[in-house]
Amino acid sequence: MFEYRDFIEYFIWSYGIEIIGLILASIFGCLGYAAKKIYQNHINDGTKRSIAKAVVQFVEQVYKDIHGEEKLFGIKQIWDGQRCLLRSEIVRIYHEHKEARALSEDEYLHLEFCYKAYKALGGNSFIDHIYAEMQEWDII
């Protein structure tokens, strides 16, 4: 006669490995999904965008509040330096991606913030032409 103990032993030996595999797969699947969510929250949480936006707003506000470059000692030289760095960054992005004619979403946002800050600092039309061309590129 088939006893309860024999049935448990038969069940464990017959289906135990599959059940353990299913449980482990479920646990690791949940852990992987949770790790992905944590990664996405820390990498693409908008912090970079909000910082860049705050910097652009600060530059615009400083320029509007000063009402002229003479009111702060050396501000013209600082703005000229910042404008030069922004122009250099926009040109670098252009040359790095001109063959592919495509930008990643993060690179595109970076370009947008650089361009707005550049224009807020009185940037010239040379960058306008490059920026207009990059606006036609693919965003990947």
The whole-number pLDDT of residue 79 equals 81
Residue with tokens 């009111």: 71
Residue with tokens 């306008």: 128
So where are the chain's domains? 1-45, 46-140
Classify 129 in phi/psi space as left (phi over 0), alpha (psi -120 to 50) or beta.
Answer: alpha
The whole-number pLDDT of residue 80 equals 83
Per-residue pLDDT of the chain (140 residues; tens, 9 = 90+): 457 677 777 777 777 778 888 888 888 888 888 888 777 666 666 666 677 777 777 777 766 665 555 555 567 777 888 888 999 999 999 999 999 999 988 899 999 989 998 998 888 888 999 999 999 998 88
Query: Greatest CA separation found in the chain?
Result: 103
The whole-number pLDDT of residue 96 equals 92
pTM of the model: 0.49
